[in-house]
């Protein structure tokens, strides 16, 4: 019997005149490992944030299975910059930490001990510290006395990933999870996500990672439409490319023109960045972070109910511009990152 984890019905979202999706209905069942596929600026990150309650849709409803434990890794994690890493970890309102605190309280008072023990069993609370150490070591987070505000963007992303994995959620939603990870980290993450019983929804530019983990896609087709595609990304990409080639041949034939095939060998890819490209690569990460902060502030203003129509329209247009810019910069950052 299929166990539904997430249902989203008739979701719509636009910023000004830019329609991201309309009357979108999707669902996730237990064990699904699914990815969102779309062109840049189509609204993948926006949809993830809406599903996790970080942003309001223009219309539609979202429902999770009762008691479902969820976790969300944002593309640019929002962490309290004033806290040290260890204080951030132990200030989180996670179910596991709450269960540990309840168990310690029950031990002292000798009340509700059986219930607290059962909850610890259910959430695997007994080995919490072991799992915490394992994840921090894996993602090269050594000094937990460091203040979050002093961490680089890569360190913050790895810390955020460790935190979302720590509670072993039933449903994990990931936005660009392999950013800032080395090969060993990525291979470990692949094994964890594929072998565990969790349900996965993600966005990633890493096609190999996507192919290894998913065989179900939600494909944005434009004009606010989306379709289910129950095959790998490579199959989908091949289908799209073949469709384009067939269309081009057909159009040329209709015009009685020859179709020329490019038989030149592809250029050997370069192995390192030029000085200017290295500078560009180092600029992109903070630029993306600043754009995300600007978008978050704009969205808060737009949801305040204090703006008139003209102000709301201007800010909506700016949010749409930011979404497009972030996707463009992220794609360029990932491209340059191949050679660092």
Which pLDDT tens digit goes with each residue over 47-69?
999 999 988 999 999 999 998 98
Query: pLDDT value at position 7?
Result: 93
Query: pLDDT value at position 221?
Result: 79
**Separation CA 10–CA 12 (nearest Å):** 6
Q: List the chain domain ranges.
A: 81-163, 275-337
Query: pLDDT value at position 224?
Result: 66
Q: Tokens 């020859």 sit at which residue?
A: 258
Q: Give the tokens for residue 63.
A: 């429902």
What's the burial of 7, exposed, middle or buried (CB within 10 Å: 0-12/13-18/19+)?
middle
Please state at what angle helix 128-138 crosses helix 153-166, rounded to 10 degrees: 150
Residues with Cβ < 8 Å from 333, sequence gap 6 or more?
A: 281, 284, 285, 288
Beta bridge partners of 71: 172
**Separation CA 178–CA 209 (nearest Å):** 8
Query: pLDDT value at position 86?
Result: 86
Which pLDDT tens digit goes with each residue over 140-157?
988 989 999 998 888 889
* Start-end of H helices in the chain: 44-51, 85-91, 95-109, 113-122, 128-138, 153-166, 183-195, 207-213, 233-254, 275-302, 309-337
Q: Tokens 């409803």 sit at which residue?
A: 61
Query: pLDDT value at position 9?
Result: 92
Query: pLDDT value at position 73?
Result: 93
pTM: 0.69
What is the per-residue DSSP string for 305-316? T---HHHHHHHH
Q: What DSSP designation does 35 have?
A: E
User: Under a CB-based contact definition with an 8 Å cutoff, are residues 315 and 307 in contact?
Assistant: yes
* Local confidence pLDDT in tens for the 340 residues of the chain: 678 999 999 999 888 777 888 888 889 999 999 999 887 677 888 899 999 998 899 999 999 999 898 999 988 888 888 999 988 888 776 777 778 888 888 888 888 888 888 888 877 778 788 888 888 899 998 898 999 999 888 888 999 999 999 878 899 999 989 888 888 899 999 999 987 678 999 998 888 888 889 888 998 877 667 888 888 888 887 777 666 544 443 444 444 433 333 333 334 455 577 888 888 888 888 888 888 888 878 877 877 778 777 787 788 778 878 877 887 787 777 677 766 6
Residues with Cβ < 8 Å from 180, sequence gap 6 or more?
A: 153, 154, 155, 157, 158
């Amino acid at each position: 019997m299929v166990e539904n984890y997430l249902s989203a019905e008739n979701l719509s979202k636009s910023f000004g005149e830019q329609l991201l999706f309309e009357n979108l209905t999707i669902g996730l069942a237990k064990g699904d490992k699914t990815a969102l596929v779309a062109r840049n600026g189509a609204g993948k990150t926006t949809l993830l944030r809406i599903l996790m309650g970080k942003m309001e849709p223009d219309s539609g409803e979202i429902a999770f299975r009762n008691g479902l434990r969820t976790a969300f890794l944002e593309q640019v994690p929002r962490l309290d910059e004033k806290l040290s890493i260890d204080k951030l970890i132990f200030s989180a309102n996670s179910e596991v930490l709450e269960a540990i605190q309840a168990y310690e309280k029950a031990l002292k008072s000798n009340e509700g001990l059986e219930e607290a023990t059962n909850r610890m069993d259910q959430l695997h609370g007994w080995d919490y510290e072991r799992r915490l150490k394992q994840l921090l070591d894996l993602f090269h987070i050594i000094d937990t006395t460091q203040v979050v505000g002093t961490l680089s963007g890569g360190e913050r992303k790895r810390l955020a990933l460790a935190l979302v994995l720590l509670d072993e959620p039933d449903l994990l939603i990931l936005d660009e999870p392999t950013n800032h990870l080395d090969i060993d980290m990525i291979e470990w993450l692949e094994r964890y996500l594929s072998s565990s019983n969790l349900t996965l929804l993600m966005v990633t530019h890493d096609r190999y990672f996507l192919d290894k983990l998913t065989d179900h896609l939600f494909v944005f087709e434009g004009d606010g439409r989306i379709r289910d595609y129950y095959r790998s990304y490579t199959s989908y990409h091949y289908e799209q490319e073949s469709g384009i080639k067939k269309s081009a041949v057909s159009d040329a034939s209709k015009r009685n023109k020859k179709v020329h095939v490019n038989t030149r060998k592809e250029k050997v890819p370069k192995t390192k960045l030029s000085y200017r490209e290295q500078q560009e690569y180092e600029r992109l990460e903070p630029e993306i972070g600043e754009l995300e902060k600007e978008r978050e502030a704009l969205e808060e203003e737009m949801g305040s109910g204090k703006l008139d129509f003209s102000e709301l329209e201007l800010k909506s247009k700016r949010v749409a511009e930011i979404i497009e810019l972030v996707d463009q910069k992220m794609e360029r950052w990932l491209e340059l990152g191949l050679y660092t």
